[in-house]
Amino acid sequence: MLLGIMFNSFISSSKMTKFIRNISLISIVVLILYAPIYCALAYLKLVCPKPTVLESPCLTELKFNEINNYHNIDILFVGPSLAYRSFDVRRFRENGFEVFNMGTTSQTPVQNYILLKHFLDQLQPRFVVIAVQPPQSKPIESTLDFICSDFEDNKVQWECMKLHMVILCKSWNIINSYIYNCFLHYIYLPIRSYIKHIPLNVNHIDGEETIIGIDKYIRGGYVERQENLTCSLMEYNSKKILFNSMQIKYLMRSIDLVQSRNIPFLLVEVPIQTARYQAWQNHEEWEQLLTDYPYVNYNGRISLNDTTEFYDSNHMNKYGVAKFDSLFIADFKEYFMNSFAD
Amino acid sequence: MIFNSLTFLLFFIVVFLIYWFPLKNTTRGQNIFLLLASYFFYGYADWKMLPLLIIATLIFYYLGKAIAGAKSERQGYWLTFAGVALGVGTLLYFKYFNFFIDSFASLFNAVGLHANLHTFNIIMPLGISFFTFRLLSNVIDIYRGKGQPTDDIVAFGTYVAFFPCILSGPIDRPAFIKQLQAKREFNYDQAVDGCRQILWGLFKKVVIADNCATFVDKVWGDIGGQSGSTLLLAAVLYLFQIYADFSGYSDMAIGVGKLIGFKIADNFKFPLFALNIADYWRRWHITLTSWLTDYVFMPLNIKFRDWGNWGMILSIVITFVLIGMWHGANWTFALFGLYHGLLYIPLILSGAFFKKAKLKTNKFGLPVAKDFGRMVLTFALVVVGLILFRADSIGQAGEFVRGLIDLNTFRASYRIFKSSSLRPTNLYILIMLIVEWLNRDKQHGLDIKNLKSAWFRYAIYVMIAILILADAPRDNVQFLYFQF
């Protein structure tokens, strides 16, 4: 009845009809023209999208442009930079394990899930190690990392994955960045390549390693910092961790996904600087969430020097990694190797 | 629920449709609906203080009736005094209680006495300044005989809680109640103009104010590490930030009011083109300045009239200190007000204060050299005052000023200028200035109804809408004046 009253009122007022029609038309025109005009504004630097493919550090590109070379591996690592900067694939190979480190910058459980869903069947790992940390933030930084990366193969599937991440971010800025990066990937760079007769620059690794800025990318996905290898001690204010419920949900989904494939897994909390770790007031709440799962926290389990074995508060340098990997591999051989999936 | 959010858009679409469709033939129905919508809006922002708003509305409604029905002048006077004391007292408690406790404690400590004074965790209700002023002007106007109390409690409640204005003004006077009691018809031209004004307000807030804030906050976060030129740029950009933020909000509030058939008082009249400080305050936060002029300055001026110009100066200085302190519980705000009050002295003594500043333009439509100079001088004076306004403490303001007059003031800070977020912001500020200059005689910057080409008008609307969507720097940044 309310709708009937509204409809009668609607059709009886021509001015209102005209008003709503004009507003709707302008809105539709804005939606249609938004993407091309936004790309023009961004190209002319009249708006500032987040990092683009032109500024990408390329580490994620290198990783996923070589992933198709990996099948039936022993261990798959996933997680944020704590994963790809802490598990040195060379050491695992020396110990007879074929591994791939699928960690990417600021990768959150949202990206863990999306990547595992896509790559588990191809990689067919016998074991999965998920580097975890109390999830506090939205999946924005990692989404941007993927948005501005250009992958050689399976472009349609990659675009679907990127779009999935963009939608989960629920951020208009990220949508803008996605639009602009699509323009760069599919319109600007190909046209530029054609006009200037230069090949499209897709990053992939040729040998065993390649230097990117102050990092060295090792085939298999490990990244090692080359400069500024020490870290000064800082003070941190004690703070309570505020968990991001969406990330917790996706962590559980990742675990369910791995379990559904009958693949054994381990949740690992990689060591960070002591002062930073001790600043978290309620770490026990986080550990409580994981009690039903195989979980190891290496903070406190390994003695590392906060200044000489870390290059920043979150990441071990190559000396710290060497020490950590030795312990981890020893633990892995002793406790987890028997549970390898067939 | 801020105006530039999806939540508000959805809220307002529902309000608009119900208001103009099933309720369009019943004014009382519309008012009841507006009242409920306004309480919902306020409760969404601050539900714990909603009872305070409702109780204050009821008290002042019946107080207004009691004042009008007072048996004697003395009784009316004391009832009004009680109302003013209650309103001002509530404001003082929520805004300034902890400030005074801290100040007394610091004073005692400075003289070697250690007072064990405790501050409380007092949370200031959102919009308290704005709705308190509405309530106060109602009782004072009734006492002065300038208005009659309304019998329509719904209209009164809606006037106090009117959702476009409750959080950051404009501060309408009780005459607004007449609009609530009159029948409202959908006016196409008014609605379209409302949409234009909302668009312009959004542009200023999202594209200019929020982007300026990114740079300004960074600089203020590390004053010692900046060159003098960077500090100068931050000081200038802060004026644009605060103008774009607050006038943008006011434009949106007025535009929303137009969409539901109301004329809300103007709050800004292009103050960046002011010719002197008096002209500036006649154009900036007009409703607050006029409120304090009517209820503070005029009574003081009458009281001190025997002192001639110095009496007027004293009245103005007191009024401006109150304007400063209205903004918050910090000595910086008091000093800000004092600074602006003192700037009136040369104007009053020279007689310029009593003449209305009239802008002269040359054949190109630009201000003549003398007026341009006056505009730049006024701009500079306001920028200096805003250093006090922005600073967290007098010490921080002093640090900023010392950094400004550093010998390296004119060393360009390349890192700042290279910042990709600043270049387009400067361009948009220029666009804002040009558009507002061209429309300085209109009600708002995007009042382009007289543009002949409809296609050109629509193209402008589409571009501005795209810029707003394109340049959203952060998700739902608060409006600056919400904290006041």
Task: Report which residue type is found at B245.
Answer: D
φ, ψ for residue A127, nearest 5 deg: -155, 145
Rounded Cα distance, B193 and B266, in Å? 14
* Active site annotation includes B118: no
Give a three-class secondary structure readout of chain B.
CCCCCHHHHHHHHHHHHHHHCCCCCCHHHHHHHHHHHHHHHHHHHHHHHHHHHHHHHHHHHHHHHHHHCCCCHHHHHHHHHHHHHHHHHHHHHHHHHHHHHHHHHHHHHHCCCCCCCCCCCCCCCCCHHHHHHHHHHHHHHHHHCCCCCCCCHHHHHHHHHCCCCCCCCCCCCCCHHHHHHCCCCCCHHHHHHHHHHHHHHHHHHHHHHHHHHHHHHHHHCCHHHCCHHHHHHHHHHHHHHHHHHHHHHHHHHHHHHHHCCCCCCCCCCCHHHCCCHHHHHHHCCHHHHHHHHHHHHHHHHHHCHHHCHHHHHHHHHHHHHHHHHHCCCCHHHHHHHHHHHHHHHHHHHHCHHHCCCCCCECCCCCECHHHHHHHHHHHHHHHHHHHHHHCCCHHHHHHHHHHHCCCCCCCCCHHHHHCCCHHHHHHHHHHHHHHHHHCCCCCCCCCCCCCCCHHHHHHHHHHHHHHHHHCCCCCCCCCHHHHC
The closest CB to that of B472, out of A23, A26, A172, belongs to A172
Q: Please, which residues 419-438 of chain B have a Cβ atom closer than 8 Å to chain A?
A: 420-421, 423-424, 427
For residues A20-41, give the mean pLDDT.
94
Per residue in A163-186, pLDDT (tens digit) is 999 999 888 888 999 999 899 989
Chain B positions in Cβ-Cβ contact with residue A15 (cut-off 8 Å): 186-188
Q: How confident is the model at residue A290 (pLDDT cuts 50, 70, 90)?
A: very high
Rounded to two decimals, the ipTM of the complex is 0.84
Query: How many C-beta neighbours within 10 Å does residue B298 have?
Result: 13
Question: Which pLDDT score, from 0 to 100, does residue A59 have?
Answer: 85
Minimal Cα–Cα distance from B429 to chain A, Å? 12
φ, ψ for residue A308, nearest 5 deg: -95, -10
b/e code B335-353 from CB counts within 10 Å (16+ = b): bbbbbbbebbbebbeeebb
Rounded Cα distance, B80 and B68, in Å? 10
Rounded Cα distance, B126 and B129, in Å? 8
What residue has token string 């580490």? A59
Q: The whole model's pTM is what?
A: 0.85
Tokens encoding B285? 């936060």
Q: Which of B285, B327, B340, B444 is catalytic?
A: B327
The closest CB to that of A47, out of B20, B195, B470, belongs to B470
Pairing of the two strands A99-101 and A75-78: parallel
The closest CB to that of B420, out of A9, A48, A176, belongs to A48
**CB distance B389 to B333 below 8 Å:** yes
Which of B80, B234, B212, B196 is CA-nearest to residue B147? B80
For residues A311-321, give the mean pLDDT.
92
Question: Which pLDDT score, from 0 to 100, does residue A151 have?
Answer: 84
User: In this complex, how many residue pairs, one in chain A and one in chain B, have their CB atoms less than 8 Å apart?
Assistant: 75
Q: Which residues of chain B have pLDDT under 70?
A: 98-124, 407-422, 473-484
**CB distance B369 to B359 below 8 Å:** no
Per residue in B155-204, pLDDT (tens digit) is 999 999 999 999 888 999 999 999 999 999 999 999 999 999 999 999 99
b/e code A41-69 from CB counts within 10 Å (16+ = b): bbeeebbbbbebbeebbbbbbbbbbbbee
Question: Which pLDDT score, from 0 to 100, does residue B391 have?
Answer: 93
**CB distance B479 to B168 below 8 Å:** yes
Evaluate if residue A118 carries a pLDDT over 70: yes
Minimal Cα–Cα distance from B396 to chain A, Å? 23
Q: Does A47 touch chain B (CB under 8 A)?
A: yes
Question: Which pLDDT score, from 0 to 100, does residue B344 have?
Answer: 93
Per residue in A54-71, pLDDT (tens digit) is 555 678 888 998 998 999
A207 Cβ neighbours under 8 A, 6+ residues apart: A219
**CB distance A165 to A143 below 8 Å:** yes
**Is B471 close to A13, i.e. CB distance below 8 A?**
no
**Residues A175, A180, A185, A187: is their CA dihedral positive or negative?**
positive
Per residue in B59-106, pLDDT (tens digit) is 999 999 999 998 888 999 999 999 999 999 988 888 777 666 666 666
Q: Which of A42-46, A328-332, B473-477 has the highest mean pLDDT?
A: A328-332
Rounded Cα distance, B126 and A223, in Å? 50
Which residues, in sequence order, are bridge partners of residue A212? A215
Question: Which pLDDT score, from 0 to 100, does residue B59 have?
Answer: 95
Evaluate if residue A339 carries a pLDDT over 80: no
Question: Which pLDDT score, from 0 to 100, does residue B104 have?
Answer: 64
Which of B357, B383, B384 is CA-nearest to residue B278? B357
Q: How confident is the model at residue A248 (pLDDT cuts 50, 70, 90)?
A: very high
Q: Does A173 touch chain B (CB under 8 A)?
A: yes
For residues A206-234, give the mean pLDDT.
87
The closest CB to that of A15, out of B188, B462, B472, belongs to B188
Provide the mean pLDDT of chain A: 88
Q: Does B463 touch chain A (CB under 8 A)?
A: yes
For residues A101-111, give the mean pLDDT.
93
**Is B420 close to A34, i.e. CB distance below 8 A?**
no
Q: Does A28 touch chain B (CB under 8 A)?
A: no
Give a three-class secondary structure readout of A37-82.
HHHHHHHCCCCCCCCCHHHCCCHHHHHHHHHHHCCCCCEEEECCHH
Q: How confident is the model at residue A99 (pLDDT cuts 50, 70, 90)?
A: very high
Question: Which pLDDT score, from 0 to 100, does residue B129 have?
Answer: 85
